[in-house]
Amino acid sequence: MAELSPQAQAVLDAFLKAPMGQGHVDDDLIAIAAALRAAADQGVSNRVSRMELHLIADELEGCND
């Protein structure tokens, strides 16, 4: 894999550190949410857009409640 920018590496790291499911949708959604939050925090300077990405991540984590 090519060397990643620090921002891209942070998103990948957040995804890989989150629980990964072996067919468990909840775990997969948590990993996706973690990556979304990292992307928002690393690469989005607009506060509203960053907040919207965090809200999407919150929704993904709570969609199987």
Say whether pTM exceeds 0.85. Answer: no
Confidence of residue 6 (pLDDT cuts 50, 70, 90): confident
Residue 1 lies in a domain: no
Q: pLDDT digits over 11-65, tens only?
A: 888 888 877 655 566 777 888 888 899 999 988 999 999 999 999 998 888 765 5
β strands within the chain, DSSP E: none
Identify the domain containing residue 18 by its residue range: 6-62
Total domains, the chain: 1
- Say how far residue 64 (Cα) sits from the centre of its chain: 17
Residue 25 lies in a domain: yes
Residues 12, 43 contacting (CB under 8 angstroms): no
* Contacts (Cβ under 8 Å, ≥6 apart) of 5: none
Residue 49 lies in a domain: yes
Task: Say what the pLDDT of residue 32 is.
Answer: 85
Task: Say what the pLDDT of residue 2 is.
Answer: 76
Residue 45 lies in a domain: yes
